[in-house]
Amino acid sequence: MTNETWTIKSALEWTEGYLGDKGDENPRLSAQWLLSEATGLSRMHLFVNYDRPLSEDERALLRGYVKRRGAGEPLQYITGEVIFRHITVKVRPGVLIPRPETEVLVSEVLAALPAPGPREAQWNTEAAAQEREAVEALKKAVEEASEALSENQRSADEVRSPDDSAGGDSGRPSSSESVPADEVGLKSAPTEEAEPAGKNLLVADLCTGSGCIACSLAYEHPAIRVIATDIAPEAVELAKENAEALGLSDRVAVLQCSLGSGIGAKRLGTFDAVVSNPPYVPTSVLPEIPREVANFEPALALDGGEDGLALFLPLAEWAASALKPGGLLACELFEDHMDAAAAIAQAYGFTDIRIVNDLTDRPRILLARKETL
């Protein structure tokens, strides 16, 4: 970029051409995202501000972004975040970038678990006491108003002539016509014993990475509580940040450990679901994956061993002991080895095994139930 005035339009055109020459598969989209990040404008606002000049700071930011993208760095690492279903999660180098395929995994888990009940909030003793006090105060006000009306009625009767008293309805209720409580919006004060407490669902998210699965499940289902694990400290730190940023820290706990090894034995047999997007790319396939994935995303989160099932085997074994009877096992796996994965699940006693295709119609998600007693 020279020292001439650069508008949003000219910067978009130049960036698109430059990234196209560098082999970007979608240089126009990349240009829009990078310029949006550099200017703080949404992609839509870029198009209605074509003639706006870029400041020197914006140009400097854009130059750095374009250089990184031209070298093949993923857009998500440059912008620092990605939209995943209904949430936005932070991403950074060293942690796998969430994929649309994994959104399908979350959808299947939510569909397989019991739907949220009409009330999932925990009982609040202080709020209940305040509500009872308000109800009693309103009842007292209604009673006082009824007494006042009755007194007025009696006073009127005392000064009314015999002809007036025979003249029909005065239009005001007597003491025997007091207004029913439900007609003025009153409801019986709730009691703690009658609290229809929602049933919490316990989920383990193994190999959580950014925490996108754990956070999405908790965000979309108020009864879900998640214990998320990852062996990489970078991932654990990021998943905790995402849970906190989304206000889910009280329902998403993140542990550093291999699979479920750090989850206490007292939890075994209590999980409603075990979910995972483990490393599943066969080692022989790794050289074939896109350059920006192979060069920038962590191999630890990609390499699934010779058949892509190196982690699924111990994962299925742990899930068999961690799940309650009828509990759900849900994993995203390599498309060419789904039959082998199903055989492993069956060997550990899982039933109702089925395979779900991803957004590109490739077999991707394995679902299975722990055998009921």
280 is in an annotated binding site: yes
Domain ranges of the chain: 8-72, 86-119+197-370, 123-157+180-194
Give the integer Cα–Cα distance in Å for 181 and 306.
Answer: 72
Which residues lie below 8 Å from residue 135, measured CB to CB, with a gap of 6+?
186, 187, 189
What token pair was written down for 317?
A: 């074994």
The proportion of the chain whose per-residue pLDDT surpasses 90, expressed as a percent, equals 66
230 is in an annotated binding site: yes
Q: Find the helix or strand (DSSP H, E) in which 350 lies.
A: strand 350-357
282 is in an annotated binding site: no
Which homologous superfamily does the CATH classification assign to the domain defined by 86-119+197-370? Answer: Vaccinia Virus protein VP39 (3.40.50.150)
Give the integer Cα–Cα distance in Å for 341 and 349.
Answer: 13
Question: How far does Cα 62 stand from its chain's mean position?
Answer: 31
Give the integer Cα–Cα distance in Å for 259 and 314.
Answer: 8
279 is in an annotated binding site: yes
| pLDDT in single tens digits along all 373 residues of the chain | 455 789 999 999 999 999 999 988 899 999 999 999 999 998 889 989 999 999 999 999 999 999 999 999 999 999 999 999 999 999 999 999 999 999 999 999 999 999 887 644 444 455 555 556 655 655 565 565 555 545 544 444 443 443 443 333 333 333 333 333 222 232 332 222 332 345 899 999 999 999 999 999 999 999 999 999 999 999 999 999 999 999 999 999 999 999 999 999 999 999 999 999 999 999 999 888 888 888 888 888 888 999 999 999 999 999 999 999 999 999 999 999 999 999 999 999 999 999 999 998 999 999 999 988 6
Give the DSSP per-residue string, 264-317: -GGGTT-EEEEEE----B-GGGGGGS-HHHHHHS-GGGTB--TTS-TTHHHHHH
